[in-house]
A and B are shown apart, each in its own frame.
Chain A
C-alpha cells in the first residue's frame, strides 16, 4: 500500500454486507449526522482499555484481525468486517465485479476449534439462508452451523468425526 500516491482524498470503508462509508482525508475526528457534527475520539486507558468516545458514551473496540486493507474489528461487542478502498481501487473493484458476473462463493469456516459431529448437506444440495449445514461440537456443546446465504453446496472439505481448527474451511456454497 505504500506505493499509493499520497494524493488520496477519500477512503471508502466497504462492509461485508456491501454498505459503503466514505470519509475524506485527512480523516477528521468529527462525524456529521444530518446538520450537526459530533466529535469522535479513539482512546485507551487502564480502566476501560481501548475504546471510542462518541456523544458522551464509551464503546469498547478491539481489532480482531487485519490484513492489508481488510479489517475485522469488534465494536461494542459486535464484529464488523470492512475493506478499505481508495477511489481508484473501488473503481477497479467495480470493473472486476462486472466482468465476473454476480456469482460469489461463500466459504463456511469453523467459528471455533471443535469436532465435526455430523454433516447435514450433500454436495450439490440447494440450501436456504439459515438452514443447518453441519454440527460442530465444542466446549461440550453441539453447535449447528447455518448457511448465511441461499445457494448450492459446491464442495465439502469437512469430514464427519474429524477435529477442525478455527477458520478451517468446512463447506463452500455458490451464492444464488
Chain B
C-alpha cells in the first residue's frame, strides 16, 4: 500500500508533529484551516491547506466525520491520521475511512471498539489472565454480602456510592471487622447525598502509580512493547508530567508488565501504536486499567529513550510493512521527562487562562525537545485544550534529566498568558518527586503549594509595584500616559486586553 498524501484530522502540536515525520518520509500533508485559529502554526507548515473557515456546520470539523471524509476525498488523500483526542478513538470514523478506501493510520475499528468499551475490555483482560482491580458486578445489598465480596477481592476495599461522585459515600475498609460499620455509614451517606443508598465494592489500590506501556503491532501479528512511561503526576486525571522509564520498575517487573501489555493487545489483533495503562501499588502489584488505541500526548518520552519515531512506525504499519525489529532489539537508553506547559493559572487551581501568547521563546539546548503548535502571536483559544508546548528533556539518568529539566524550565520565556511553569519549577525541587516515591495522589495530598517563588522574587515584585506607584503618583511622568476614561489602566494592561479579542 502506498501512502503519498496524509490528511491530518487534527490541529495543534500533534498536527505539527505528524507533519514533521511525514516530511521526513516524503509524504505530503493536508490540514484544515478553521475560523477559530486561521493562522495556527500547523496551517502554515502543511503542504496543502483545506480552507474550512466558512464551514456552516454547528459541530467542530474535527468531530464531523462526514465532513472530514469529504475533505480527505476532495484533497485526494490516501490516508488519514487522527492524532489524539477528537475522533482518534472513534471506531466508526476508522470504519468510514476504510469504506472510502482511505487508510486509517491507527488500529482496526474492531480493536478500537473493544478497547473503548470498558466491559468488553475488562472481560478480555480477565480471559487473558491480566491482573485487574476486582470489583462487585453490581450493587451490594447488605453488610454480609459486602463482607463476602471483600473476602473474595482481598482487603483493603473501597465502598462507593452507585450514584456517587466527589468523594461522598466513599469508605475505605482495611479490615473485615470494620466492614459492617463502614458499609452502613457509606450506604447512609450515599442515601443522604444522592437519594440512593446503593453501593458497590472495589479493590482499593492504595497510593498507586500510573504506569503505561507503549506497544507497537503490525498487521502480520507481531507486537512489541517499548517499555513504560510513568504518568503519576496528574491532577484530576489530567497528566502534567510524564517520564520514561519509571523509577518504580526493574527489568523483571518491566518484562512481566510488558508481556501482559503485549498479550492484551494481541487479544484484539492490535496493530499500530497503542498504550496499555496499569496501576501499580506499593507492593508492586499491578492492575490493568485500560488500553488507549491512539498515539498519546506523552509519546515523545518513549521516542527519546528508544530512538524510535512512533509516528513513522504508525505510517509504516498502515502501509502494511512489518516491524523491522523484534522485542530483543528494543533498547532503552537514558531518561526522558515531559513537562506539559499549559496556559493555566496554577494559583487558581489550574484554571485555563486562554489568551494571546505575546512572546514565546523555547530553549534550544541539545537536551531539550520542544513540541509545540504555537509561536509568538498565536492565541490559546478557549474552544480547544490549553497546551502551549511539551518540553521534553532527556538526560543520561533520572538525576541528570531532572537537573537539565531545571535549566530548561528557566529558559522558557512566555508572555501573555499564565502557565504551568511555576508548578514544574516547584516540582523538580520537591524531595518526593526527586526520590521517585510520588503516587497519583501526589498533587492533591502531598503539596500545600502548587508553585515556586523565592523570597527574592516577591521582593522584586514589591520593588516593581513601588516603582510603578512612584512613577504614577509622585513623579508625575506617568507611564500610564493618559488613556482618557481608562486612566486607571496601564498601557501594558491595555495591550493585553486588546490582544485577547
Residues from chain B with a CB closer than 8 A to the CB of A145 are 349
Within 8 A of A (CB), among B264-297: none
Contact yes or no, A13 B422, CB < 8 A:
no
> Are B493 and A143 closer than 8 Å at their CB atoms?
no
Asked if A79 CB lies within 8 Å of chain B CBs, one says yes
- Contact: B451 with A78, CB < 8 Å? yes
Does A71 contact B468, Cβ atoms closer than 8 Å? yes
Is the CB of A64 closer than 8 A to any CB of chain B?
yes
Are B354 and A139 touching (Cβ within 8 A)? yes
Q: When the two chains form the complex, which single residue of B350, B352, B359, B382 contacts A47, counting CB atoms closer than 8 Å?
A: B359
Interface residues of B in 321-362 (CB under 8 A from A): 345, 347-354, 358-359, 361
Q: Is A25 located at the chain interface by the 8 A CB criterion?
A: yes
Q: Which residues of B contact A54 (CB under 8 A)?
A: 456, 460
CB of B482 within 8 A of chain A? no
Smallest distance from the beta carbon of A71 to chain B beta carbons, Å? 4
Binds B, one of A2-10, A95-103, A157-165, A168-176: A2-10
A4 adjacent to B351 (CB under 8 Å): no
What's the minimum C-beta distance from B192 to chain A, rounded to whole angstroms?
Answer: 13
B99 at interface, CB cutoff 8 A: no
CA separation between A142 and B236, bound complex, in Å? 9
- Complex CA gap A76/B411 in Å reads 11
Contact of B349 among A63, A71, A77, A143 (CB under 8 A): A143
- CB-CB under 8 A from A125, the residues of chain B are none
Residue from A65, A71, A78 with most neighbouring chain B CB atoms (10 Å): A78
- A156 part of interface (Cβ distance < 8 Å): no
What distance in Å separates the Cβ of A80 from its nearest Cβ neighbour in chain B?
A: 4
> A13, A62, A67: which contacts B465 (Cβ < 8 A)?
A13
Give the docked Cα–Cα distance between A13 and B459 (Å). 9
A60 engages B464 (CB within 8 Å): no
A64 to B421, CA, bound (A): 18
A54-72 CB contacts (< 8 Å) to partner B: 54, 57-69, 71
Q: Are A48 and B464 touching (Cβ within 8 A)?
A: no
Contact A40 B492, beta carbon cutoff 8 Å = no
Neighbouring B residues of A25 by C-beta, 8 Å? 470, 474
Instruction: Chain A residues near B422: list those with CB within 8 A.
Output: 76-78
Complex: A82 Cα to B469 Cα, angstroms: 11
A111 touches B359 (CB 8 A): no
Contact of B352 among A2, A62, A84, A112 (CB under 8 A): A112
A138 at the interface (CB under 8 A from B): yes
The smallest beta-carbon distance between A125 and chain B, in angstroms, is 14
Residues A139 and B462 in contact in the complex (CB < 8 Å), given A1-B473, A64-B493, A66-B468? no
Residues of B with C-beta under 8 A to A67: 488
Interface size on A, residues (CB 8 A): 61
Q: Are B461 and A80 in contact (CB under 8 A)?
A: yes
Interface residue count on the B side (C-beta < 8 Å):
54
- Give chain B residues whose Cβ lies under 8 Å from the Cβ of A62: 415, 492, 496
Residues of B within 8 A of A40 (CB): 460, 463
Q: Do A68 and B488 have beta carbons less than 8 Å apart?
A: yes
Query: Could you say which residues of chain B place their CB within 8 Å of the CB of A58?
Result: 413
Complex contacts, B166 vs chain A, CB 8 Å = 120, 132
Counting chain B CB atoms within 10 Å of each CB, the highest count among A26, A50, A139 belongs to A139
A27 touches B386 (CB 8 A): no
**What is the bound-complex CA distance between A80 and B437, given in angstroms?**
32
Q: Which one of B382, B419, B451, B457 contacts A138 once the chains associate, using CB atoms below 8 Å?
A: B382
CB pair A63–B468 under 8 Å, yes or no, is yes
A106 at interface (Cβ–Cβ under 8 A)?
Answer: no
Nearest A-chain residue to B470, judged by Cβ: A27
Q: Which residues of A contact B308 (CB under 8 A)?
A: none
What are the interface flags for A1-41 relative to B under an 8 Å C-beta threshold, 1 for contact and 0 otherwise?
11010101001010100010101011100010100000010
Residue of B nearest to A69 (CB): B469
Counting CB contacts under 8 A, is B126 at the interface?
Answer: no
Interface residues in A38-53 by Cβ distance below 8 A to B read: 40, 42, 47-50, 52
Interface residues of B in 457-501 (CB under 8 A from A): 457-470, 472-474, 480, 488-490, 492-493, 496
Known A77-B421, A80-B462; further 16 A-B contacts with Cβ < 8 A: A6-B474, A31-B463, A40-B460, A42-B467, A47-B361, A60-B415, A62-B415, A65-B489, A75-B458, A76-B453, A78-B422, A111-B345, A136-B351, A139-B385, A144-B236, A144-B349
Residues of chain B having any CB pair with chain A under 8 Å: 166, 236, 238, 345, 347-354, 358-359, 361, 382-383, 385-386, 410, 413-415, 418-419, 421-422, 451, 453, 456-470, 472-474, 480, 488-490, 492-493, 496
Jot down 6 A-B pairs with beta carbons below 8 A, ordered by A. Answer: A48-B359, A62-B415, A74-B418, A75-B460, A79-B418, A138-B351
